[in-house]
Amino acid sequence: MAITSSVMSRALIVQALKDGIVKFHPRELRRSPVMAIVAIGAVATSIALIVDMTKGSFSGVDLQITLWLWGTVYFANIAESIAEGRGKAQADALRRSRQTTTARKMVHGVEQVVGSSDLHVGDLVVCETGDLIPLDGDVIDGIASVDESAITGESAPVIRESGGDRSAVTGGTRVLSDRIVIRITVEPGQAFLDRIIGMVEGAQRQRTPNEIALSTLLIGLTVVFVLVVITLPFFTQYLSSTGNGSADTSISVLMALLVCLIPTTIGGLLSAIGISGMDRLLRSNVVAMSGRAVEAAGDIDVLLLDKTGTITFGNRSASEFLPAPGVSVSDLARAAYTASLADETPEGRSIVHLARHTHNIRDAHEDLRDVVTHAFTAQTRMSGADFVDVSGTSHHVRKGAADAVEAAVVALGGSMPKDVRTAADKVASAGSTPLVVSDGNRVLGVVELKDIVKGGIRERFERLRLMGIRTVMITGDNPLTAAAIAAEAGVDDFIAEAKPEDKLARIRLEQSQGRLVAMIGDGTNDAPALAQADVGVAMNSGTQAAREAGNMIDLDSNPTKLIEIVETGKQLLMTRGALTTFSIANDVSKYFAILPAMFAGLYVGSDGTSPMETFNIMGLASPQSAILSAVIFNALIIVALIPLALRGVTYKPQGVTAVLRRNVLIYGLGGLVIPFVGIKLLDIVITALGLA
């Protein structure tokens, strides 16, 4: 996605300053109970101020307190606006590629031109070079290269073809070459692009379970402090009525105390944190279908991933020829080469490649007569060729799985030499795939097909392990092969000889034991497992079924993206937790600033001092400046923390205890100490400027 990488641009901030004013509407304020209370406090002090002025008494400090209370609400509004603004910019970019287009709809084999908004599920449309694909669908005929940069930001075209796992096309992308027939799979307005825009704009943003739980906690704390502030004047009034001096319980002081005590820091930034979390995910080119999924990502215990394409490069390739006793390597290579001529699979081609390059086997087609090729079928599990060579000898070369070839050889009266069997087992146990080559009833040897583990994957799994996530590899390979690759790649567990339903069973098993499972998949047969997993990440290159089933889509189709997803999910929760802790810890210092100031007139002794002066541990200049400093600090800390809310707290994959210790030190202890310093400094400035 073409997005600027800066956290806040100037234009964004200007827009946010405007939007922040609109958010004073009571309907908007109601969504955050904490900020709503601040707004009520601001209204109360404003009214008190006006009433005082009509009486002819005017207090500059009260005016400043009132302004700062309004400022507190405004700053929280700005924070939310900035977070939303970043999403809006992205949505606008996306919306440009969603303009209504015409579509060439196929009706009974005849093309009709219709508007893309008139299409329905099941319609067939034709797209040729240069056409914009009108809506999401599956390719049912043809192959084409498609420019998906509008969605993925990746300019290199991708191939989309009928059948297989690369059949899904997305509305708003453009066909660059060839012609495809697409079956529409969504109704207009519900397409992938629409959903992304919805997510990005926050229009569909529902509060996530953890966010709701945290809001509940914040409301609880707010209720406590409302109660504290409401009951306080009764205590002080009693004390004054019994001749113990008086406390300043004017509306402005009480509201200042209330606003400083309720968790405004986290309350004001909560929604910005949530919006920017989704936003960060989108920046790493992952579209989450719900905020819930992002949160769940932070909780993942187990990750299931396919071996092929994820841990290893998709294709196995031939690495070595291991001849049977009495057979030369070049004979084996030549036989394997001939047997693979009709084998168009990547494995077959890699055998041809190896034979040509390492054993200098040249195309000997012309020398052979009566060539009959046998393509690989699921029934025979072999491919091969029958021919007559230059010397007139007829050959029946075959290449295939060891047991299939053995069966064929035995049927012709031959047998599998012990050495070949040993070699095949050895290859398998090393994590490679052995193919056995035969000619008639004679076994010639073994071809080793090697799985190439992707570079750097081991380090990535190590990182996941530090996050507390176990990785499980799923492969159709036999257990020996699977174990070897698992060891090489550094996964924690594997399922060998897996059938599609095994994935689903494993996910259910892990879940029943109380673990949260993530799964990455792209194929249609992955869809049930993707739907069952707590976090199902579908590759954008995958089938429509897979993309529908997952709750996240990786636009880059990069399976190791899960690390970023998990980090974003954890970061989202950590940012909320850290700022809540910070907010609550702040209260201690605010108490020490405001209460001694408020109670300064209580219990005044014969020497004219109050014992409350003892609790003015910051040595603030005057009661007025103490209260004003606390209110200003409380407002400004919201502004100061906006970048942190948008960026998220730093997350390093390390043990939970280390992570917690770090966050408690920074946000807990820091939350205790920082406001003492901040309020003292503000007090000095206020006194110097003569504001109070």
Partner 1 sequence: MDLTQLIPIGVFLLLIVVLSPLLGTYIAWLLGGESSDEMDWKQYLGAILTFNAVGFGLLMGILMCQQFLPLHPDGARGLDISLAFNIAVSFVTNTNWQSYAGETTLSPFSQMVGLGTQNFLSAATGIAVLSAFTRGLARSTGRTLGNAWRDMSRIVLGILLPLSILFAVVFVSEGVVQTFDPEHQVTTVQGEQQAIPLGPAASQIAIKQLGTNGGGYFNANSAHPFEDPTPLTNLLSTIALVLIPGALCFTYGIMANHRKHGVALFATMTVLLTIGIGVSLWSENVSAAVLNESVVMEGKEVRIGVAESILWSSTTTAASNGSVNAMHSSLSPLAGGVAMLNMMLGEIVFGGVGSGLYGMILFVILTVFLTGLMVGRTPEYLGKRIDAVDVRWAIVAIVAPSASMLIGSTLSLYTEAGRSSMMHSGAHGVSEVLYAWASAAGNNGSAFAGLNANTTFYNIGIGIAMLIGRYAVIVPVVIIAGRMVSRIRMKESAGTFPTHSPLFILLLIGTILVVGALTFFPVLLMGPLAEQVQLMQGGF
Q: Which residues contact 278 (CB under 8 A, 6 or more apart)?
A: 87, 199, 200, 202, 205, 288, 291, 294
Which one of 514, 608, 619, 690 is in contact with partner 1 (CB under 8 A)?
Answer: 514
Examine residue 573 and tell whether it contacts partner 1 (CB under 8 A).
Answer: yes
Which one of 476, 531, 615, 639 is in contact with partner 1 (CB under 8 A)?
Answer: 615
**Which residue, 261 or 507, is less far from partner 1 as judged by CB?**
261
Which one of 360, 512, 608, 690 is in contact with partner 1 (CB under 8 A)?
Answer: 512
Where is 43: in which H helix or E strand?
A: helix 33-54
Distance in Å, CB of 246 to partner 1, minimum? 12
Examine residue 569 and tell whether it contacts partner 1 (CB under 8 A).
Answer: yes
How many whole angstroms separate alpha carbon 480 and alpha carbon 155?
A: 41
**Which residue, 30 or 418, is less far from partner 1 as judged by CB?**
30
Distance in Å, CB of 228 to partner 1, minimum? 6
Which one of 108, 413, 657, 690 is in contact with partner 1 (CB under 8 A)?
Answer: 657
How many whole angstroms separate alpha carbon 348 and alpha carbon 368?
A: 20
Which one of 33, 153, 500, 668 is in contact with partner 1 (CB under 8 A)?
Answer: 668
Q: Judge residue 523's burial from the number of C-beta atoms within 10 Å of its C-beta, 0-12 exposed, 13-18 middle, 19 or more buried.
A: buried
CA end-to-end span of the chain: 51
Examine residue 217 and tell whether it contacts partner 1 (CB under 8 A).
Answer: yes
Q: Which of residues 479-498 bind partner 1 (CB under 8 A)?
A: none
For 392, other C-beta atoms within 10 Å of its C-beta total 7
Examine residue 601 and tell whether it contacts partner 1 (CB under 8 A).
Answer: no
Distance in Å, CB of 620 to partner 1, minimum? 16
306 noted as active-site residue = yes
Region near partner 1 per CB under 8 A, out of 28-36, 69-77, 153-161, 658-666? 658-666
Distance in Å, CB of 592 to partner 1, minimum? 9
Nearest to 34 by CA among 271, 222, 275: 222
Quote the tokens at residue 594.
């405001």
Distance in Å, CB of 213 to partner 1, minimum? 4
For 348, other C-beta atoms within 10 Å of its C-beta total 21
Region near partner 1 per CB under 8 A, out of 217-225, 390-398, 518-526, 553-561? 217-225
Examine residue 618 and tell whether it contacts partner 1 (CB under 8 A).
Answer: no
Region near partner 1 per CB under 8 A, out of 10-18, 53-61, 160-168, 597-605? 597-605
Name the phi and psi angles at 302, rounded to 5: -130, 140
Nearest to 611 by CA among 252, 244, 261: 244
Nearest to 159 by CA among 171, 172, 175: 175
**Which residue, 168 or 595, is less far from partner 1 as judged by CB?**
595
Examine residue 472 and tell whether it contacts partner 1 (CB under 8 A).
Answer: no
Mask for 265-304, x = binds partner 1 (CB under 8 A): ------------------------------xx-xx-x---
How many whole angstroms separate alpha carbon 571 and alpha carbon 659?
A: 11
DSSP assignment of 306-321 equals ETBTTTB-S--EEEEE
Distance in Å, CB of 616 to partner 1, minimum? 12
Region near partner 1 per CB under 8 A, out of 117-125, 459-467, 548-556, 628-636? 459-467
Q: Are 278 and 288 in contact (CB under 8 A)?
A: yes
Examine residue 661 and tell whether it contacts partner 1 (CB under 8 A).
Answer: yes
Nearest to 266 by CA among 33, 40, 71: 33
How many whole angstroms separate alpha carbon 490 and alpha carbon 305?
A: 13
Examine residue 619 and tell whether it contacts partner 1 (CB under 8 A).
Answer: no
Distance in Å, CB of 278 to partner 1, minimum? 16
Distance in Å, CB of 655 to partner 1, minimum? 7
Distance in Å, CB of 530 to partner 1, minimum? 21
Examine residue 264 and tell whether it contacts partner 1 (CB under 8 A).
Answer: no
Count of residues that bind partner 1 according to CB under 8 A: 82
Q: Are 502 and 525 in contact (CB under 8 A)?
A: no
Q: For the range 281-284, what are the long-range contacts, defined as Cβ-Cβ under 8 Å and sequence gap of 24 or more?
A: 281/564, 281/565, 281/568, 282/1, 282/3, 282/90, 282/199, 282/200, 283/1, 283/3, 283/5, 284/561, 284/564, 284/565, 284/568
For 320, other C-beta atoms within 10 Å of its C-beta total 14
Nearest to 435 by CA among 447, 444, 427, 422: 447
DSSP assignment of 50-97 equals HHHHHTT---HHHHHHHHHHHHHHHHHHHHHHHHHHHHHHHHHHHHHT
Nearest to 286 by CA among 1, 7, 524: 1
**Which residue, 351 or 674, is less far from partner 1 as judged by CB?**
674
Distance in Å, CB of 658 to partner 1, minimum? 10
How many whole angstroms separate alpha carbon 488 and alpha carbon 431?
A: 9
Residue type, 612: M
Q: Are 59 and 628 in contact (CB under 8 A)?
A: no
Examine residue 585 and tell whether it contacts partner 1 (CB under 8 A).
Answer: yes
Examine residue 13 and tell whether it contacts partner 1 (CB under 8 A).
Answer: no
Q: Which of 131, 136, 147, 306 is catalytic?
A: 306
Region near partner 1 per CB under 8 A, out of 59-67, 312-320, 580-588, 633-641? 580-588
How many whole angstroms separate alpha carbon 9 and alpha carbon 341?
A: 59
Region near partner 1 per CB under 8 A, out of 77-85, 416-424, 445-453, 466-474? 466-474
664 DSSP assignment = I
Examine residue 576 and tell whether it contacts partner 1 (CB under 8 A).
Answer: yes
Examine residue 407 and tell whether it contacts partner 1 (CB under 8 A).
Answer: no
Examine residue 26 and tell whether it contacts partner 1 (CB under 8 A).
Answer: no
Examine residue 574 and tell whether it contacts partner 1 (CB under 8 A).
Answer: yes
Q: Which of residues 184-213 bind partner 1 (CB under 8 A)?
A: 209-210, 212-213
Q: Which residues contact 377 (CB under 8 A, 6 or more apart)?
A: none
Examine residue 452 and tell whether it contacts partner 1 (CB under 8 A).
Answer: no
How many whole angstroms separate alpha carbon 427 and alpha carbon 322?
A: 10
Distance in Å, CB of 29 to partner 1, minimum? 21
Region near partner 1 per CB under 8 A, out of 12-20, 333-341, 479-487, 650-658? 650-658
Q: Which residues contact 252 (CB under 8 A, 6 or more apart)?
A: 45, 48, 49, 59, 61, 62, 65, 66
**Which residue, 50 or 228, is less far from partner 1 as judged by CB?**
228
Examine residue 626 and tell whether it contacts partner 1 (CB under 8 A).
Answer: no
132 DSSP assignment = B
Examine residue 467 and tell whether it contacts partner 1 (CB under 8 A).
Answer: yes
Examine residue 469 and tell whether it contacts partner 1 (CB under 8 A).
Answer: yes
Distance in Å, CB of 628 to partner 1, minimum? 19
Mask for 300-339, x = binds partner 1 (CB under 8 A): -x--------------------------------------
Examine residue 611 and tell whether it contacts partner 1 (CB under 8 A).
Answer: yes
Mask for 219-248, x = binds partner 1 (CB under 8 A): xxx-xxx-xx--xx-xxxxxx--xxx----
**Which residue, 221 or 361, is less far from partner 1 as judged by CB?**
221
**What are the residue numbers of the active site?**
306
